[in-house]
């Protein structure tokens, strides 16, 4: 299992003078140097306004640093089940543009969330729209990972049902520790989603003064996903408010220890 970093905000990296480092092109080398992590999941919002040359430049910098871009993550949910045909077309077009960006970055996957109700009608419409966009995924050799979200896919069984309904070997899940904990049954939620996961976000918050992680046990999360055969990338995803560097370093130590113990 490879430990990587999910980046959705600019304050994860702090320069020597204490100011955030704004240059995304420096992220790969800083992830290696500051955190000793070996890959990057990056939010699409951080690349807003970029052209193909910019994407190629980030890929080159990431490759040279030995910290490849692995998953491009769309920030907001996509409305594949909207009653408006035009809105559904917008969602499809957005995915197709993101697939091109993911391909240029060298990512093996694109992560998205689907907006919709729990109705069968919305479920079937979303499945049909996803089948359409999967053609673009196949051409670009990029996988589609669906993160739990909202009424349609917040329940793990519904998310796995959607994955099965769309079908194909390029679609999977993008679970997170935070979603699993919020579900009320962290272990069972991870056990159901991890077998379909192309990557998992190890969501972390600020650690307490004694070094404990609030809400859930990170070691238990690792043990759970390994128990069902997960061996893909685990991306530390900081969602706290205090010092991100300290929290990421603490999480890396705990997660790596859990991984190493499981391998013994």
pLDDT for 218 equals 96
Residue located via tokens 């079937």: 124
Residue 197 phi, psi dihedral angles, 5° rounding:
-85, 130
Mean pLDDT of the chain: 93
All domains of the chain in start order, with CATH: 2-263 (3.20.20.150)
Please give the pLDDT value at position 125: 96
Residue 7's pLDDT is: 96
Per-residue CA distances from 39 to 85, 88, 143 (Å): 37, 32, 17
Low-confidence ranges of the chain (pLDDT < 50): 264
In tens, the pLDDT along 39-86 reads: 999 999 999 999 999 999 999 999 999 999 999 999 999 999 999 999
Strand blocks (E) in 8-62: 40-43
pLDDT of residue 170: 93
Q: Give me the pLDDT at residue 47, please.
A: 96
Query: Which is nearest to 13 in space by CA: 254, 250, 238, 203?
Result: 238
């Amino acid at each position: 299992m490879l430990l990587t970093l999910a980046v959705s905000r600019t304050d994860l990296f702090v320069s020597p003078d204490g100011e955030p480092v704004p240059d995304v092109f420096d992220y790969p080398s800083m992830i290696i140097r500051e955190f000793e992590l070996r890959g990057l999941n990056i939010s699409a919002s951080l690349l807003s306004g970029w052209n193909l040359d910019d994407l190629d430049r980030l890929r080159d910098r990431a490759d040279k640093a030995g910290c490849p871009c692995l998953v491009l993550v769309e920030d907001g949910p996509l409305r594949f089940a909207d009653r408006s045909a035009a809105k559904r077309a917008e969602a499809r077009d957005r995915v197709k543009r993101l697939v091109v960006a993911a391909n240029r970055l060298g990512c093996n996957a694109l992560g998205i969330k689907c907006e919709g109700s729990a109705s069968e009608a919305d479920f079937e419409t979303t499945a049909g729209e996803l089948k359409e966009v999967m053609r673009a995924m196949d051409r670009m050799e990029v996988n589609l990972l669906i993160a739990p979200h909202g009424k349609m896919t917040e329940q793990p069984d519904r998310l796995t049902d959607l994955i099965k309904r769309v079908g194909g070997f390029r679609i999977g899940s993008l679970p997170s520790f935070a979603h699993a904990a919020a579900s009320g049954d962290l272990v069972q939620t991870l056990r159901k989603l991890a077998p379909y996961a192309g990557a998992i976000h190890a969501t972390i918050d600020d650690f307490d003064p004694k070094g404990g992680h609030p809400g859930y046990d990170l070691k238990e999360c690792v043990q759970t996903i390994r128990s069902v055969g997960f061996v893909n990338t685990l991306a530390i995803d900081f969602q706290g408010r205090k010092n991100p560097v300290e929290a990421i370093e603490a999480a890396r130590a705990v997660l790596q220890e859990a991984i190493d113990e499981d391998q013994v």
